[in-house]
Amino acid sequence: MGDPDDSESCGYPVDDRSATEAKAALINRALEESGMGRYQWCIFFLCGFGYALDLMWAQAFSLVTPRIQQELGVADKDYGDIFSVFSAGLTVGAFVWGILVDIIGRRWAFNLTVGIVATFGMILGALNSWTAICGMVFFVGFGLGGNIPIDATIVLEFIPSDRRYLLAALSVFQPIGTIITSLISWALIPKFACTTGLPACSYLAPGVAPDASTCCTKASNYGWRYALFTIGGLSVLAFIGRFGLFTFHESPKFLVSKGRDAEAVRVVHAIARFNGTTSALREDDLRDIDERVSRLRASGSKGDDERVEDVAEGGKTRRRLAVAGGKVGHLGILFSSPAMVRLTVLTWVCYAADYWGFVIAGNFLPKFLAERGAADNMSTYDTYRNYIIIAVVGVPGVLLGTALIEVPRIGRKWAMVGSSALMGASLFLYATVTTPAASVGFNAMEYFFQSTFNAVLYGWTPEAFPAAARGSACGLASFWGRLASVVAPLVAARLGSSTGVLYLAGGGVFVCTLCALGLRETRGGEAV
């Protein structure tokens, strides 16, 4: 792979970087030589399936909850509880899986998150209690909470550097997931739903026999159950694809961050074989980096945050460089310098404001759209058709974000600034309209720019942080976003005014715009 004393052999001089970063750069070169092969495309589509599940379930709860409310007689003040419970599960999941992925590795998290979603998702459609439904929704959210931070991290660590635009493109699976759920709901819920306006059977006066003509019975309202069973079945297919049909190798960048260099080299060679090619990477190449940095450290060229230590590997003892926080307390990397503190905090606030805005929009805009359609005598069938129209625009929204990040004068930063500002503006404009047609238009506009912004944000985040803390950085950012999404529906549900809800959502999104102005550009940088 090159002379270890050649400063360019691993992509940049090793004397001003940690050994772990230099090794990660060397692995980047090896993956680039192997190319974008079958293994990387399998990773991309399997992680894309995880992205799709995230919004499939979120959209499902938005679309089925009005039918659950009608059948079970859920009070309006409790309507937002299911969204808050879902968000609570997502919050805990983002925190737990975000931390675990940098401790136990990418492989276990890759499989377990989807396995949990599949297990609890299949149970939901069989439940008859609002409390039980909310309980299962929490566990579905817990599994989904790790999907975006983990899947984005995995894709970044396996694709060649010249294909990093695929990180943003990965988000195209989210609107596709929304479209799939909308199509499923459109096909099943209106056909198997109670007549609009019928009360729950629990509201009938004593002595009145419940039937489909007097109240909303379970037998006449099976559409939402069929929809949840179908989405649960798709979650099972995702788990089978990840666990049974594909062999996922641990990330070599995670392995070198843990000092497991020999395993990292074996993974790079296994990926090359899967792709039908070979790799020239040797364990000696990584060992040479340790020796070079060791000599620099001994001569006083390295900082005090790194030390040389003896480690046992493969029955042998060798020298390697250990970075402070690399073995214990890897979260300290996120606060290791004023620049990292600023980056970490701005990222957290940006995620919190983003989730605040789009969770309110996702949970309440379908309800407002249905109400405006009902006021205009629009059928349930037409209402669900409108959901699909709105979901479809997310695909070009993601593709716009994928294209913008490669434009030199725009890049990741200005793509986030512009798309978040337009997303917030669309929410404010939505508050000024009253007709169903205008509602569909501004709802679609909001979702278009939401898809653009999130595609860039989710792709930018793993690029901005080093491998040793990448999963935790992405997971904790998602955690703060999910935490905001727990509170947002509760606050919005109690405002009572659709205009107030929309201004509340739009105001949060404009905070994203301010935060994005302070984020650094990652285009062209080394992802280590």
How many other CB atoms are found less than 10 A from the CB of residue 77?
10
Question: What mean pLDDT do residues 466-492 have?
Answer: 85
pLDDT higher than threshold 50 for residue 122: yes
Q: What pLDDT does residue 45 have?
A: 94
In degrees rounded to 5, what are phi and psi of residue 206?
A: -55, 135
Confidence of residue 102 (pLDDT cuts 50, 70, 90): confident
- The residue among 293 and 258 whose pLDDT is bigger is 258
pLDDT in tens, 265-294: 999 999 999 999 988 888 888 888 878 777
pLDDT higher than threshold 70 for residue 9: no
Q: What pLDDT does residue 441 have?
A: 84
CA end-to-end distance (rounded Å), the chain: 18
Question: What mean pLDDT do residues 54-82 have?
Answer: 87
| Tokens coding 222 | 């099976």
Confidence of residue 366 (pLDDT cuts 50, 70, 90): low
If we measure between CA atoms, which residue out of 117, 166, 110 comes closest to residue 137? 117
pLDDT higher than threshold 90 for residue 29: no
Pick the CATH number of 334-527 from 3.10.110.10, 2.70.70.10, 3.30.1280.10, 1.20.1250.20: 1.20.1250.20
For residues 352, 353, 358, 361, the Cα torsion angle rounded to the nearest 10 degrees is 120
Strands (E), 366-468: none
3-state secondary structure at position 193: coil
Question: Which run of H or of E encompasses 309?
Answer: strand 306-313
| Tokens coding 171 | 């988000």
| Tokens coding 92 | 């805990």
CA 7/CA 3 separation, integer angstroms: 8
CA 250 to chain centre: 20
Cα–Cα–Cα angle for 372, 376, 382, nearest 5°?
A: 80
Q: What pLDDT does residue 209 have?
A: 66
Cβ contacts of 510 within 8 Å, gap of 6 or more: 420, 421, 424
The type of residue at 369 is L
Q: What pLDDT does residue 294 have?
A: 76
Q: What pLDDT does residue 354 have?
A: 93
Q: What pLDDT does residue 190 have?
A: 85
Inter-CA distances, 51 with 15, 152, 155, 290, Å: 39, 9, 12, 37
Q: For the chain, give the mean pLDDT.
A: 82
Confidence of residue 353 (pLDDT cuts 50, 70, 90): very high
Question: Which run of H or of E encompasses 322?
Answer: strand 316-323
Q: What pLDDT does residue 361 have?
A: 80
- Helix boundaries (H) for 80-128: 81-100, 106-124
Strands (E), 443-504: none
| Tokens coding 35 | 């190319």
The DSSP call for residue 519 is S
pLDDT higher than threshold 70 for residue 392: yes
How many other CB atoms are found less than 10 A from the CB of residue 144?
29
Q: What pLDDT does residue 306 have?
A: 42
Q: What pLDDT does residue 432 have?
A: 79
CA 150/CA 20 separation, integer angstroms: 20
- The residue among 442 and 302 whose pLDDT is bigger is 442
| Tokens coding 184 | 């499923």
Question: What mean pLDDT do residues 179-187 have?
Answer: 89
Least confident stretch, 115-129, 311-325, 343-357, 446-460? 311-325
Question: What mean pLDDT do residues 105-134 have?
Answer: 91
Confidence of residue 240 (pLDDT cuts 50, 70, 90): very high
Cα–Cα–Cα angle for 487, 490, 494, nearest 5°?
A: 140
Confidence of residue 375 (pLDDT cuts 50, 70, 90): very low
If we measure between CA atoms, which residue out of 219, 231, 218 comes closest to residue 122? 231
CA 360/CA 155 separation, integer angstroms: 29
- Residue 119's Cβ-count burial label (10 Å; 0-12, 13-18, 19+) is middle
If we measure between CA atoms, which residue out of 109, 113, 117, 93 comes closest to residue 154? 109
pLDDT in tens, 144-177: 988 878 888 899 889 888 888 898 899 899 889 9
Question: What mean pLDDT do residues 134-139 have?
Answer: 94
Pick the CATH number of 36-245 from 1.20.120.80, 3.50.50.100, 1.20.1250.20, 3.30.1370.60: 1.20.1250.20
| Tokens coding 121 | 């998702």
In degrees rounded to 5, what are phi and psi of residue 309?
A: -140, 160
Q: What pLDDT does residue 207 have?
A: 61
pLDDT in tens, 185-238: 888 988 888 887 788 887 776 666 677 678 888 888 899 999 999 999 999 999
For residues 178, 233, 483, 467, the Cα torsion angle rounded to the nearest 10 degrees is -90
- The residue among 93 and 322 whose pLDDT is bigger is 93
Q: What pLDDT does residue 142 have?
A: 94
Phi-psi region of 160 (alpha: psi -120 to 50; beta: other; left: phi over 0): beta
CA 309/CA 287 separation, integer angstroms: 13
What percent of the chain has pLDDT above 70?
Answer: 84
What pTM does this model have? 0.78
CA 399/CA 401 separation, integer angstroms: 5
CA 449/CA 512 separation, integer angstroms: 13
Q: What pLDDT does residue 2 have?
A: 43
If we measure between CA atoms, which residue out of 180, 171, 170 comes closest to residue 41? 170
CA 355/CA 487 separation, integer angstroms: 10
Interhelix angle 436-464/467-493, rounded to 10 degrees, is: 150
Residue 148 and residue 154 in contact, taking contact as beta carbons nearer than 8 Å? no
Cβ contacts of 406 within 8 Å, gap of 6 or more: 165, 523
Question: What is the location of CATH 1.20.1250.20 in the chain?
Answer: 36-245, 334-527
Confidence of residue 182 (pLDDT cuts 50, 70, 90): confident
pLDDT higher than threshold 80 for residue 323: no
pLDDT higher than threshold 70 for residue 307: no
